[in-house]
Structure 1
């Protein structure tokens, strides 16, 4: 499966051009690629257009490494852009009517009523919008409901949209352009918050920090990268790529499982923030907190199915030693941690020897790795491992100091980045409640499954 002529890519924002275009460094994990003079001539600034077999091979390689992304507005529409929308729903007729109105007339839509308590209300909305109704006698969950719908699909693409989603006219046409790449099996938009009148503090936090919002930058969805999973609250999938559909044994995390199974089969999943879909976020504190905890309970089932993907953090051996030295909090900790960084920097400099400034590049890469290790450790202490952190704080002053630094540094960095319309105090409370709820869900699932797989970091060389 090769990229077609005319396919356009642009270097990812994290990819650096070195030595006047003779080398590229970036991707996940970080790689250095040296370009031949012929390969250099394929680029126009940061973009490249596929025009022959050589450029198709290079573009495919850069996409696979996460060093480049498709320029979606310059991609052609697929030759068979027909799609069917599948909507799983349980009650919520008001939200369903709003979604169907946003889809518009003329598109085939299958609404799967997943055991509604008031099926007549759902049926009335479906009939009003001339969609097809599939009624399930009992509630089987979102995975089973989606499966019941997509098995009736005959178009090349299937769109899954939850009933609390609202589409824009450009959402689906933009996502469909990604399928010009024959390896793309799924494309997802950016999930934004549906505006609500007189939004409270939880609503404002959720609009800035929703778990469904994967950020403002396009990316390949791959475990171990900044965009490691994708939600099917709204997604476009090649119908023939589903191969069994969702795992209907899963009530939570079934979308992540499907995404990772596609990746394991060598297919690509694209995240495209240029396409957006609005989601009706939970704004009541109790509903919001419970939903965050429910998200966490999907960790153990995913760990059983994808043990190599679920790790809450990924450390290189050197970064683990660096973090351990800092956590010890002795007088010699900082000099020893600095010595580790110096040794790593020298090792990287040898690997990138031949670039114009190998030591400068090595220092930058080492600093990025150290910063990533610190932020991952902060997330472990405040989110995934918070029960252990609490126990440590009861008996150790060093544990209390580490937890305080992790929590405050996390808030300072995230508050500045999120630019949320909320004061720092309420933002901080919401952030910690978010972590407490999700972490509690992860621990509940681990205890229920009698396994710590979802809690163990992965050591990668």
Structure 2
């Protein structure tokens, strides 16, 4: 097999002929001894041919510094997969038409009003229907399908998705590695050409339809990733995920009506399994775009943060800040004449302390200053995001009584919103959204999620989901990957 170095990774020269790679999930600095550096060279990919390259590839993969290249040999076949679809009162014709003939199909009818029509559709696809006479929720439905599956692999697909192209094989490749327990595809917007009805076409032309096409919380981006808590891809949605049946046990927690997919991901990670995100596989989702339904869904997602924080303390924080980045950001938020010099001084001290740990690099002080600057910019982005999303009620109260707070919130709202538009504007090649529309929708998105987050925290009487954490130590209840 081949592995490809992550495009975000940065190389730093070492003093002993070796090198270091900066990046990964979570971010880290990995030193390469001269022999390993000689094997990798200046290339961006590595072919596994012997024990040394195998060990180096495993190190890079487990650090999130590299990803498997397409064409991994030795993966399972389609006949080893059962597709499980929970559904209630929704047609499945478009979804079923995309399934390879080799896979088994189990559809769980969660108390739908027309079981005969559903049964006819599933029968035509040579599938099996399990019926719940009364609705038990998506988690219970998925678990019923999981229990009925007789294959070693189960692909969960929600009833509002339509897989695209050759979607299954890229996922199966990753399971050539027996330590990988879950692989998830990229979730993209369902386009009119993919739909069998006029509704999605009209919704995609709406402002919220265009926003969701480039900024849906289900779309985790075009880059492959290791799924790790508190990283760029910290979770994957249950709308589409492929799992090893033996690894997930009884499946989803049926007591959780929201964020049950994140809970499953965190449990699998804590048990030492490897989890991967593969955007070459694409599954289209019929996003909610009616204003009221859209806003309520975003708020609903926010209510899941509190129960997750109780079960996996520190795994889903609003911010990850070290003491020095917190102090520097606090100085900048003060908006005094001394704010920028104070933040610069704090960063310089942090860089000097860090340089003492980078003596294996050619230019430890320069590298430390670069790392500290990146750390401060990342922290500032987190603080700005938290002001507008997780902690917006506090920011709103401060803005009522403080001119500086109003200025900070306004600047953050504009800068973060326009930066978010620039970052995501090309996520969907067939959709164009103007900066103002994106900015307004993004701010409403944050208000909705933050409202749900605070409602969940008050309901559970637990503020853990609102509190920042320090980087470094693994979250409580989440073990490092073995």
Query: Same fold, TM exceeding 0.5?
Result: yes
Q: Is the 8 A contact 2:25 2:226 kept in 1?
A: no
Matched-pair contact (CA < 8 Å) for 1:77–1:176: no
Q: Which residue of 2 aligns with 1:4?
A: none
Secondary structure, aligned partner of 2:280: strand
Whole-angstrom distance in 1 between the partners of 2:100 and 2:71: 25
TM superposition shift of 1:218: 0.6
Query: What is the RMSD computed on CA atoms of the aligned residues?
Result: 1.6
Matches of 1:69 and 1:133, distance apart in 2: 37
Structure 2: distance between partners of 1:329 and 1:306: 36
How far apart in 1 are the matches of 2:22 and 2:206?
A: 43
Structure 1, unaligned stretches of length 5 or more? 1-6
Structure 1 window deviating more from structure 2 (42-51 vs 325-334): it is 42-51
Q: Quote the Cα distance in structure 2 between the aligned partners of 1:304 and 1:258.
A: 14
Count residues in correspondence. 452
Q: Could you tell me which of 315, 324, 348 is aligned with 1:342?
A: 348
Q: Distance in 1 between matches of 2:264 and 2:173?
A: 21
User: Aligned pair 1:458/2:469, yes or no?
Assistant: yes
Q: Once the 2 structures are TM-superposed, how far is the Cα of residue 77 of structure 1 from its aligned partner? A: 4.1
- Residue from 88, 91, 95 that aligns with 1:90: 88
The 5-angstrom pairing of residues 242-281 of structure 1 reads: 242-281=248-287
Please show how residues 300-449 of structure 1 align to structure 2 within 5 Å. Answer: 300-419=306-425, 421-449=432-460
2:10 aligned with 1:13: no
Superposed displacement of residue 79, structure 1: 4.4
Shift of 1:302: 0.9
- Find the aligned partners of 1:153 and 1:227 in 2 and give their Cα distance: 28
Q: Does 1:116 align with 2:91?
A: no
2:318 equivalent to 1:285:
no
Counterpart in the other structure of 1:298: 304
CA–CA distance in structure 1, aligned partners of residues 172 and 100 of structure 2: 17
Post-superposition Cα deviations, 1:316-349, rounded to whole Å, max 9, x if no partner, equal 1111111111112221111111100111111222
- Other-structure match for 1:185: 181
1:377-409 Cα shifts (integer Å, max 9, x gaps): 011100011111111111111211111111111
2:476 is matched with none
CA distance in 2, matches of 1:29, 1:158: 28
CA distance in 2, matches of 1:23, 1:454: 34
> Is residue 211 from structure 1 mapped to residue 207 from structure 2 by the alignment?
no
Q: 1:200 to 1:303 in 2, by over 3 A?
A: same
Decide whether aligned partners of structure 1 residues 68 and 104 sit closer, same or farther in structure 2, where only a CA change above 3 A counts: closer
- 2:148 match: secondary structure: coil
Report how far residue 423 of structure 1 moved. Answer: 2.0
For the pair 1:168 / 2:164, whether they are aligned, the reply is yes
Asked whether the 8 Å contact 1:384–1:442 carries over to 2, the reply is: yes
- Equivalent-residue separation in structure 1 for 2:74 and 2:191 (angstroms): 31
| 1:356 partner SS | coil
Distance in 2, Cα, partners of 1:452 & 1:373: 21
Q: Which residue, 152, 168, 176 being the options, matches 2:148?
A: 152
Q: CA deviation at 1:118?
A: 2.8
Q: 2:242 aligns with which of 221, 236, 247?
A: 236
The separation in 1 between residues aligned to 2:18 and 2:188, in whole angstroms, is: 37
Name the structure 2 match of 1:23.
20
Shift of 1:50: 2.3
Q: Secondary structure at the match of 2:277?
A: strand
Deviation by residue 1:263-297 (Cα, 9 ceiling, x = unmatched): 00111110111111111111211111111111111
Correspondence 1:125 to 2:121:
yes
**Partner residue in 1 for 2:429:** none
Secondary structure of 2:441's match?
helix
Q: CA deviation at 1:80?
A: 5.1
Once the 2 structures are TM-superposed, how far is the Cα of residue 16 of structure 1 from its aligned partner?
Answer: 1.6
Residues in 2 aligned to 1:34 and 1:426: alpha-carbon distance in whole angstroms: 44
